[in-house]
Amino acid sequence: MPQQLAIIVLVDVGNALEMKTLEGNTYLFDNMKLHGSEGQGTGELVTAIHGSYWRDGSQASEQVLNWLPYSLGSIPPTVPRGYEAERARQTDRQALAELEAMVNKPANQGADAAAQISQLQQTLGTRVKSTRRTRGPATQKILDVTGHVISYDGAAAHSYPPPVITDIYGEAVDKKIMYPAEYGSPDMVTDGWYWSATVDSTRPGTYTYTMAIQLHRLLLQGGDWTWEPVDLTCDSKIRIMSEPKRNAFTKSGLGLLPIPPA
């Protein structure tokens, strides 16, 4: 089985949208520091990939890379899948219950109607209209970073949908070093879609690649808030070395693979 390695693409979405660039607003990580990856947590990551050889020089299986885009300062990807849609449903149900209590109250016992409606508006929050061409976010209401709906006024701080990788291309792809594609799976972290690539690790060298990344900003269109896609790009590198594969399983050391029988 090929070794699977993950590359995390952490984007300061708010600042990137403000500055209209991912440069200086993207932080890349892989978990291959011990393999010689450099620039962890910066925009200048060079991912180290050991050659596809076993310790005795025989052919091993290829390397597989997976990319995981995250949004800095938003609701984390560790909440249950479909959390934003679930929050929209929960707050709708809550508002219905409040409305029911309001209309069932005897006429002379209620608080003043304006205050009650204002309370209802807060419970309901601001809905985001989805358009057919916005493929990324399934967000139905605007949430703050603590997962609560907000009545959006065009300026309040809010959570952003995670960035979406829409393509991976450039030198490493043109030279047939890696073969990226988007896959669907019951992946719990990225809502089922992720980019993955197999890497031909028989040709040592440093190769650049570019990620096309889609962010989303709130835009008022015809009286409705929508998530407007903003397409930006970000470069990174892989460095293929001729060193044999190393073990990455815990409690088995970092020796060369395969581990000899005890």
Partner 1 sequence: MGALAAGSVRGNLYMYDTNKAGGSTGFGTEELRTRVRAGDRVLWNCLALECEAFVGIAGIEVDKSVIEPERKVYPGTDVAYWIGTVKKDDIDVVPYRIRFLVGTRTEPITTTLSPTLVG
Q: Which is nearer to partner 1, 6 or 64 (CB)?
A: 6
Q: How far is CA 121 from the centre of its chain?
A: 30
CB 143 within 8 A of CB 85: no
Residues sharing a CB contact under 8 Å with residue 211, sequence separation 6 or more, in sequence order: 9, 67, 165, 167, 168, 233, 234, 235, 236
* Options 3, 17, 22, 27; binder of partner 1; rule CB under 8 A: 27
Q: Which is nearer to partner 1, 4 or 121 (CB)?
A: 4
104 binds partner 1 (CB under 8 A): no
Q: Which is nearer to partner 1, 96 or 115 (CB)?
A: 96
20 binds partner 1 (CB under 8 A): no
Cα(40)–Cα(30) distance, integer angstroms: 7
Q: To which H or E segment does residue 14 belong?
A: helix 13-19
Q: Which is nearer to partner 1, 147 or 258 (CB)?
A: 147
Give 261's Cβ-side CA count (13 Å radius): 0
Q: Where does this chain touch partner 1 (CB under 8 A) — which range of 84-92, 119-127, 195-203, 215-223?
A: 84-92
* Options 108, 146, 176, 260; binder of partner 1; rule CB under 8 A: 146
> In one letter, which amino acid is 148?
H
76 binds partner 1 (CB under 8 A): yes
* Options 145, 219, 220, 259; binder of partner 1; rule CB under 8 A: 145
Q: Where does this chain touch partner 1 (CB under 8 A) — which range of 70-78, 124-132, 177-185, 230-238?
A: 70-78
Q: How far is the CB of 147 from partner 1 (least distance, A)?
A: 4
* Options 41, 192, 205, 255; binder of partner 1; rule CB under 8 A: 41
Alpha helices in 50-161 (DSSP H): 83-104, 113-124
Q: Where does this chain touch partner 1 (CB under 8 A) — which range of 36-44, 127-135, 174-182, 234-242?
A: 36-44
Cα(22)–Cα(214) distance, integer angstroms: 10
* Options 21, 46, 64, 73; binder of partner 1; rule CB under 8 A: 73
Q: Which is nearer to partner 1, 12 or 173 (CB)?
A: 12
CB 166 within 8 A of CB 212: yes
* Options 2, 15, 150, 182; binder of partner 1; rule CB under 8 A: 15
Can you spell out the DSSP letters for 158-227?
-PPPPPEEEEEESHHHHTTSEEEEEEE---TTTTTEEEEEEE-TTS-EEEEEEEEEEEEEEEEETTEEEE
Percent helix, strand, coil in the chain, to 5, is 20, 35, 45
Residues that bind partner 1 (CB under 8 A): 6, 8, 10, 12, 14-15, 18, 24-25, 27, 29-31, 33-34, 40-42, 68, 70, 72-73, 75-80, 83, 86-87, 90, 145-148, 189, 250
